Amino acid sequence: MDLLLVLRDALASSLVGGLLAAMDAKKLGQEVGVVFTQEALAAAAKGSFQWPRELSGQDMRLLMADRGAELGLPILGRGEGRQLDAKALISRAREAGVRLYACPNWSALLGLRDEPPHDMETLDAQAFQALVRDATKVVGTL
CB 84 within 8 A of CB 11: no
**Average pLDDT of the residues in 16-33:** 97
Which residues pair with residue 4 across a beta bridge?
33, 138
pLDDT digits (tens, 9 = 90+) for 36-52: 999 999 999 988 999 99
* pLDDT category of residue 35 using cuts at 50, 70 and 90: very high
Residue 59 backbone dihedrals phi, psi, to 5 degrees: -60, -45
Asked whether the whole model's pTM tops 0.85, one would answer yes
Check residue 114 and give its pLDDT.
82
Q: How high is the pLDDT of residue 28?
A: 97
> Does the pLDDT at position 90 exceed 90?
yes
17-25 mean pLDDT: 97
Q: pLDDT tier at 33 (50, 70, 90 boundaries)? A: very high
- Could you tell me which residues come within 8 angstroms of residue 58 by beta carbon, excluding any fewer than 6 positions away? 80
Is the pLDDT at 8 greater than 90? The verdict is yes
The structural domains of the chain, with segments of one domain joined by +, span 3-51+86-139
What's the CATH number for 3-51+86-139? 3.40.1260.10
Judge whether 43 and 10 are in contact, CB under 8 Å: yes
Which one is predicted more confidently, 30 or 76?
Answer: 30
Closest CA to 72 of 117, 34, 19: 19
pLDDT of residue 80: 86
